[in-house]
Protein backbone atom coordinates (compact mmCIF):
# COMPACT_ATOMS: atom_id res chain seq x y z
CA UNK A 1 0.00 0.00 0.00
CA UNK A 2 1.37 3.36 -0.97
CA UNK A 3 -1.10 5.40 1.04
CA UNK A 4 -0.32 5.88 4.70
CA UNK A 5 -2.92 5.87 7.44
CA UNK A 6 -2.53 9.59 8.04
CA UNK A 7 -3.80 10.50 4.55
CA UNK A 8 -7.10 8.80 5.18
CA UNK A 9 -7.34 10.40 8.62
CA UNK A 10 -6.74 13.85 7.12
CA UNK A 11 -9.48 13.34 4.52
CA UNK A 12 -11.76 12.24 7.32
CA UNK A 13 -10.92 15.36 9.35
CA UNK A 14 -11.72 17.55 6.34
CA UNK A 15 -15.06 15.79 5.86
CA UNK A 16 -15.84 16.18 9.57
CA UNK A 17 -15.06 19.90 9.49
CA UNK A 18 -17.25 20.43 6.42
CA UNK A 19 -20.07 18.52 8.12
CA UNK A 20 -19.79 20.63 11.27
CA UNK A 21 -19.81 23.77 9.12
CA UNK A 22 -23.02 22.59 7.47
CA UNK A 23 -24.63 21.82 10.81
CA UNK A 24 -23.63 25.18 12.26
CA UNK A 25 -24.45 27.52 9.40
CA UNK A 26 -27.29 26.08 7.35
CA UNK A 27 -30.87 26.73 8.39
CA UNK A 28 -32.42 24.37 5.87
CA UNK A 29 -33.38 21.12 7.64
CA UNK A 30 -32.43 18.91 4.69
CA UNK A 31 -29.04 20.55 4.38
CA UNK A 32 -28.42 19.92 8.06
CA UNK A 33 -29.13 16.26 7.37
CA UNK A 34 -26.44 16.44 4.65
CA UNK A 35 -24.02 17.67 7.32
CA UNK A 36 -24.95 14.79 9.64
CA UNK A 37 -24.35 12.33 6.81
CA UNK A 38 -20.89 13.76 6.18
CA UNK A 39 -19.96 13.51 9.87
CA UNK A 40 -21.13 9.88 10.02
CA UNK A 41 -19.18 9.07 6.86
CA UNK A 42 -15.99 10.59 8.24
CA UNK A 43 -16.37 8.42 11.34
CA UNK A 44 -16.85 5.33 9.19
CA UNK A 45 -13.80 6.21 7.12
CA UNK A 46 -11.76 6.45 10.31
CA UNK A 47 -13.01 3.08 11.53
CA UNK A 48 -12.20 1.31 8.28
CA UNK A 49 -8.80 3.00 7.95
CA UNK A 50 -7.70 1.95 11.42
CA UNK A 51 -9.11 -1.51 10.81
CA UNK A 52 -6.90 -1.81 7.72
CA UNK A 53 -3.73 -0.61 9.36
CA UNK A 54 -3.92 -2.41 12.69
CA UNK A 55 -5.09 -4.92 11.01
CA UNK A 56 -8.25 -6.21 12.59
CA UNK A 57 -11.67 -7.02 11.16
CA UNK A 58 -13.62 -5.53 14.07
CA UNK A 59 -13.37 -2.00 12.75
CA UNK A 60 -15.09 -3.04 9.55
CA UNK A 61 -17.80 -4.81 11.52
CA UNK A 62 -18.41 -1.68 13.58
CA UNK A 63 -18.50 0.40 10.39
CA UNK A 64 -21.17 -1.90 8.95
CA UNK A 65 -23.30 -1.52 12.08
CA UNK A 66 -22.80 2.22 11.99
CA UNK A 67 -23.92 2.45 8.35
CA UNK A 68 -27.09 0.52 9.15
CA UNK A 69 -27.91 2.70 12.16
CA UNK A 70 -27.28 5.80 10.05
CA UNK A 71 -29.84 4.51 7.54
CA UNK A 72 -32.42 4.23 10.32
CA UNK A 73 -31.54 7.69 11.60
CA UNK A 74 -31.95 9.28 8.17
CA UNK A 75 -35.32 7.61 7.66
CA UNK A 76 -36.64 9.05 10.94
CA UNK A 77 -35.02 12.43 10.28
CA UNK A 78 -36.62 12.76 6.87
CA UNK A 79 -40.00 11.74 8.31
CA UNK A 80 -39.60 14.50 10.91
CA UNK A 81 -38.74 16.96 8.14
CA UNK A 82 -41.90 15.95 6.26
CA UNK A 83 -44.05 16.35 9.40
CA UNK A 84 -42.52 19.75 10.16
CA UNK A 85 -43.00 20.83 6.54
CA UNK A 86 -46.66 19.85 6.75
CA UNK A 87 -47.12 21.82 9.97
CA UNK A 88 -45.20 24.97 9.06
CA UNK A 89 -45.16 24.85 5.23
CA UNK A 90 -41.43 25.53 5.47
CA UNK A 91 -38.20 23.62 6.07
CA UNK A 92 -36.33 26.48 7.68
CA UNK A 93 -35.44 25.40 11.19
CA UNK A 94 -35.74 28.96 12.48
CA UNK A 95 -39.49 28.62 11.87
CA UNK A 96 -39.89 25.47 13.95
CA UNK A 97 -40.76 27.23 17.16
CA UNK A 98 -43.55 25.39 18.91
CA UNK A 99 -41.21 23.67 21.38
CA UNK A 100 -39.37 26.92 22.09
CA UNK A 101 -40.00 28.27 25.57
CA UNK B 1 3.40 9.21 -0.67
CA UNK B 2 -0.14 9.16 -1.92
CA UNK B 3 -1.02 7.82 -5.32
CA UNK B 4 -3.06 9.57 -7.97
CA UNK B 5 -6.21 7.54 -7.37
CA UNK B 6 -6.25 8.63 -3.75
CA UNK B 7 -5.67 12.25 -4.72
CA UNK B 8 -8.47 12.23 -7.31
CA UNK B 9 -10.85 10.53 -4.86
CA UNK B 10 -10.14 13.01 -2.09
CA UNK B 11 -10.62 16.00 -4.39
CA UNK B 12 -13.90 14.48 -5.65
CA UNK B 13 -15.17 13.67 -2.16
CA UNK B 14 -14.33 16.94 -0.45
CA UNK B 15 -15.24 19.07 -3.46
CA UNK B 16 -18.65 17.52 -3.83
CA UNK B 17 -19.19 17.77 -0.05
CA UNK B 18 -18.67 21.52 -0.30
CA UNK B 19 -20.90 21.67 -3.39
CA UNK B 20 -23.62 19.72 -1.56
CA UNK B 21 -23.77 22.33 1.15
CA UNK B 22 -23.26 25.43 -0.95
CA UNK B 23 -25.09 24.95 -4.25
CA UNK B 24 -28.38 26.80 -4.55
CA UNK B 25 -30.66 23.98 -5.62
CA UNK B 26 -31.31 21.20 -3.10
CA UNK B 27 -31.73 18.65 -5.90
CA UNK B 28 -28.22 19.24 -7.20
CA UNK B 29 -27.10 19.29 -3.59
CA UNK B 30 -28.44 15.81 -2.97
CA UNK B 31 -26.82 14.57 -6.17
CA UNK B 32 -23.51 16.05 -4.95
CA UNK B 33 -24.05 14.29 -1.61
CA UNK B 34 -24.48 11.07 -3.59
CA UNK B 35 -21.08 11.69 -5.23
CA UNK B 36 -19.52 12.31 -1.80
CA UNK B 37 -20.89 9.03 -0.48
CA UNK B 38 -19.64 7.18 -3.56
CA UNK B 39 -16.22 8.76 -3.00
CA UNK B 40 -16.18 7.41 0.55
CA UNK B 41 -17.05 4.01 -0.90
CA UNK B 42 -14.04 4.41 -3.18
CA UNK B 43 -11.88 5.06 -0.12
CA UNK B 44 -13.20 1.84 1.38
CA UNK B 45 -12.13 0.02 -1.78
CA UNK B 46 -8.67 1.59 -1.49
CA UNK B 47 -8.55 0.34 2.10
CA UNK B 48 -9.19 -3.24 0.93
CA UNK B 49 -12.64 -3.36 2.46
CA UNK B 50 -14.83 -4.38 -0.49
CA UNK B 51 -17.62 -5.64 1.75
CA UNK B 52 -18.01 -2.28 3.50
CA UNK B 53 -17.72 -0.49 0.16
CA UNK B 54 -20.55 -2.50 -1.36
CA UNK B 55 -22.63 -1.99 1.79
CA UNK B 56 -21.98 1.73 1.59
CA UNK B 57 -22.99 1.83 -2.07
CA UNK B 58 -26.17 -0.16 -1.55
CA UNK B 59 -27.29 1.53 1.67
CA UNK B 60 -26.10 5.11 1.24
CA UNK B 61 -26.10 5.71 -2.50
CA UNK B 62 -28.90 3.26 -3.18
CA UNK B 63 -31.39 4.08 -0.48
CA UNK B 64 -30.51 7.11 1.63
CA UNK B 65 -29.66 9.41 -1.27
CA UNK B 66 -32.81 8.37 -3.14
CA UNK B 67 -34.84 8.93 0.03
CA UNK B 68 -33.39 12.42 0.38
CA UNK B 69 -34.07 13.12 -3.30
CA UNK B 70 -37.73 12.12 -2.91
CA UNK B 71 -38.12 14.24 0.22
CA UNK B 72 -36.62 17.21 -1.61
CA UNK B 73 -39.14 16.71 -4.38
CA UNK B 74 -41.99 16.75 -1.84
CA UNK B 75 -41.32 20.27 -0.61
CA UNK B 76 -42.45 23.40 -2.40
CA UNK B 77 -40.46 24.57 -5.36
CA UNK B 78 -39.43 27.95 -4.05
CA UNK B 79 -38.12 26.36 -0.86
CA UNK B 80 -35.75 24.16 -2.85
CA UNK B 81 -33.99 27.21 -4.22
CA UNK B 82 -34.42 29.31 -1.11
CA UNK B 83 -31.22 30.13 0.73
CA UNK B 84 -31.56 32.24 3.84
CA UNK B 85 -28.56 32.53 6.01
CA UNK B 86 -26.88 35.03 8.23
CA UNK B 87 -23.74 36.53 6.71
CA UNK B 88 -21.88 36.80 10.01
CA UNK B 89 -22.93 33.31 11.01
CA UNK B 90 -21.61 32.05 7.72
CA UNK B 91 -18.21 33.66 8.24
CA UNK B 92 -18.11 32.32 11.79
CA UNK B 93 -18.92 28.86 10.41
CA UNK B 94 -16.15 29.07 7.83
CA UNK B 95 -13.76 30.17 10.58
CA UNK B 96 -14.86 27.25 12.76
CA UNK B 97 -14.36 24.86 9.86
CA UNK B 98 -10.86 26.13 9.10
CA UNK B 99 -9.92 26.15 12.79
CA UNK B 100 -11.10 22.55 13.12
CA UNK B 101 -9.25 21.47 10.00
CA UNK B 102 -6.01 23.21 10.94
CA UNK B 103 -6.14 22.33 14.64
CA UNK B 104 -7.00 18.68 14.25
CA UNK B 105 -4.73 18.44 11.22
CA UNK B 106 -1.71 19.72 13.11
CA UNK B 107 -2.48 17.49 16.07
CA UNK B 108 -2.75 14.44 13.82
CA UNK B 109 0.32 15.30 11.75
CA UNK B 110 2.28 15.85 14.95
CA UNK B 111 1.15 12.55 16.43
CA UNK B 112 2.77 9.18 15.96
CA UNK B 113 0.22 8.08 13.36
CA UNK B 114 2.54 9.33 10.62
CA UNK B 115 4.78 6.34 10.87
CA UNK B 116 1.95 3.86 10.83
CA UNK B 117 2.18 1.83 7.68
CA UNK B 118 1.37 -1.73 6.91
CA UNK B 119 2.39 -4.53 4.67
CA UNK B 120 0.13 -7.02 6.35
CA UNK B 121 -2.42 -8.79 4.18
CA UNK B 122 -5.96 -7.46 4.02
CA UNK B 123 -8.60 -8.64 6.43
CA UNK B 124 -10.55 -11.46 4.88
CA UNK B 125 -14.11 -10.31 4.33
CA UNK B 126 -15.38 -13.86 4.62
CA UNK B 127 -14.37 -13.61 8.26
CA UNK B 128 -16.60 -10.56 8.69
CA UNK B 129 -19.59 -12.49 7.40
CA UNK B 130 -18.75 -15.35 9.72
CA UNK B 131 -18.41 -12.98 12.67
CA UNK B 132 -21.77 -11.45 11.88
CA UNK B 133 -23.50 -14.79 12.05
CA UNK B 134 -21.68 -16.17 15.09
CA UNK B 135 -20.19 -13.72 17.56
CA UNK B 136 -22.20 -10.66 16.56
CA UNK B 137 -25.51 -12.41 15.89
CA UNK B 138 -27.33 -10.89 18.93
CA UNK B 139 -26.17 -7.44 17.84
CA UNK B 140 -27.30 -8.22 14.30
CA UNK B 141 -30.78 -9.14 15.56
CA UNK B 142 -30.97 -5.97 17.67
CA UNK B 143 -29.89 -3.95 14.65
CA UNK B 144 -32.61 -5.55 12.53
CA UNK B 145 -35.19 -4.69 15.20
CA UNK B 146 -33.92 -1.10 15.38
CA UNK B 147 -34.16 -0.78 11.60
CA UNK B 148 -37.67 -2.25 11.52
CA UNK B 149 -38.90 -0.05 14.36
CA UNK B 150 -37.35 3.08 12.89
CA UNK B 151 -38.91 2.42 9.48
CA UNK B 152 -42.27 1.80 11.14
CA UNK B 153 -41.83 4.97 13.18
CA UNK B 154 -40.92 6.98 10.10
CA UNK B 155 -43.99 5.72 8.26
CA UNK B 156 -46.22 6.48 11.24
CA UNK B 157 -44.79 9.98 11.52
CA UNK B 158 -45.18 10.76 7.85
CA UNK B 159 -48.72 9.40 7.58
CA UNK B 160 -51.46 11.95 7.11
CA UNK B 161 -54.44 11.50 9.36
CA UNK B 162 -56.58 14.01 7.54
CA UNK B 163 -56.27 12.42 4.12
CA UNK B 164 -58.89 9.70 4.57
CA UNK B 165 -61.89 11.48 3.09
CA UNK B 166 -59.92 14.15 1.27
CA UNK B 167 -57.75 12.31 -1.22
CA UNK B 168 -56.86 15.39 -3.21
CA UNK B 169 -55.46 17.51 -0.38
CA UNK B 170 -52.82 19.67 -1.98
Q: What is the ipTM of this complex?
A: 0.90
Is A17 part of any domain? yes
B118 pLDDT higher than 80: no
Average pLDDT over residues A27-45: 92
Is A100 part of any domain? no
pLDDT at position B1? 61
pLDDT digits 0-9 by tens, B45-96 = 998 889 999 999 999 888 888 888 888 888 877 777 766 777 888 899 999 9
CB-based contact B97:A20 (threshold 8 Å)? yes
Q: Which domain holds residue A51?
A: 5-95
- The CA distance from B13 to B46, in Å, is 14
Give the pLDDT band of residue B144 (cuts 50, 70, 90): very high
A5 Cβ contact partners less than 8 Å away, ≥ 6 residues apart: A49, A50, A52, A53, B113, B116, B117, B118
Q: Find residues 16-35 of chain A whose CB sits inside 8 Å of chain B.
A: 16-22, 24-28, 30-31, 33-35
A61 Cβ contact partners less than 8 Å away, ≥ 6 residues apart: B128, B131, B132, B136
Name every chain A residue with its beta carbon within 8 A of the beta carbon of B31.
Answer: none
Query: For A42-51, A55-64, A74-83, B121-130, which range has the lowest pLDDT when averaged over its residues?
Result: B121-130
Q: Indicate the CATH number of B1-80 among 1.20.1600.10, 3.20.10.10, 3.40.50.300, 1.20.120.1200.
A: 1.20.120.1200
Name every chain B residue with its beta carbon within 8 A of the beta carbon of A19.
Answer: 17
Q: Domain map of chain B by residue range? A: 1-80, 123-160
Give the pLDDT band of residue A62 (cuts 50, 70, 90): very high
CATH of the domain at A91: 1.10.287.3510
Is A101 part of any domain? no
Is A26 part of any domain? yes
- The CA distance from B14 to B7, in Å, is 11
Name every chain B residue with its beta carbon within 8 A of the beta carbon of A84.
Answer: none
Among A9, A14, A35, the residue with its CB nearest the CB of B113 is A9
A85 pLDDT higher than 90: no
Closest chain B C-alpha to A99 CA, distance in angstroms: 17
pLDDT > 90 fraction of chain B, expressed in percent and rounded? 45
pLDDT > 70 fraction of chain B, expressed in percent and rounded? 92
The pTM score is: 0.89
Task: Classify residue B48 as left (phi > 0), alpha (psi -120 to 50) or beta.
Answer: left
Say if the Cβ atoms of B157 and A83 lie within 8 Å: yes
Say if the Cβ atoms of B14 and A14 lie within 8 Å: yes
Is A83 part of any domain? yes
Structural domain total, chain A: 1
B4 Cβ contact partners less than 8 Å away, ≥ 6 residues apart: none
Amino acid sequence: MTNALIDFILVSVALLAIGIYGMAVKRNAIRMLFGIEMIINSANLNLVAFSRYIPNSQGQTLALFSIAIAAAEVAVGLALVIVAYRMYRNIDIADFRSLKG
Amino acid sequence: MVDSVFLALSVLTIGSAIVALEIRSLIYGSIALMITLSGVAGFFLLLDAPFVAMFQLSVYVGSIAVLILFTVMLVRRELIFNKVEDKRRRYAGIGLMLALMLGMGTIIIGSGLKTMDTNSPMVDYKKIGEDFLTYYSPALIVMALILASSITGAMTLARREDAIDDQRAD
